[in-house]
Amino acid sequence: WCSVMAVQLCHSSLHDSTGKPSSGSCKRTNILRPLERALSEMQEFHEMIDQMLSTTPLMTAGHCVGDIFLAHTLFDIDKPQISTVVHLAMKLADVADTKNALCRIGIATGLVMGGTFGSGGRESFQIFGEPVMRALQYAH
């Protein structure tokens, strides 16, 4: 479900209002900016997350962030800015429960897994290690 949601978000960011593909190739900003807007402004997206959280373990909510990041790499995006990905994780955690440690651990896992499988193993794990630890510390 999470992967479908992520791909749908990416897909929608690649098409204009008429449903035709946007001009140019899919660049990082083409996806990250709509994703950020979706998390901060779109009530529908918050409702989707609320629905997911009501039927899904909180750990899975964190993996959604990894899926969203993974979707970036499916569309040939190099490396999204770490701060933006962590921002997406924080937004999702805030919707779920800012004090729920399990949700934070799931989000950290999702970030690491999405980064590891999306961008080439050890390198991305090192890149994501520090922000993930900061995210977990932020929870406490």
Q: Are 75 and 28 in contact (CB under 8 A)?
A: no
- Which residues in the chain come in under a pLDDT of 50? 1-29, 31, 38-39, 41-42, 45, 58-59, 71-82, 96, 98-99, 115-125, 138-140
The pTM of this model reads 0.27
- Take residue 95 and report the two structure tokens written for it: 């919707």
- Per-residue pLDDT tens for 53-91? 555 554 455 555 555 555 444 444 444 444 555 555 555
pLDDT value, residue 131: 52
pLDDT value, residue 67: 54
The 10 Å Cβ neighbour count of residue 31 is: 23
**What is the sign, positive or negative, of the torsion defined by CA atoms of 16, 8, 134, 97?**
positive
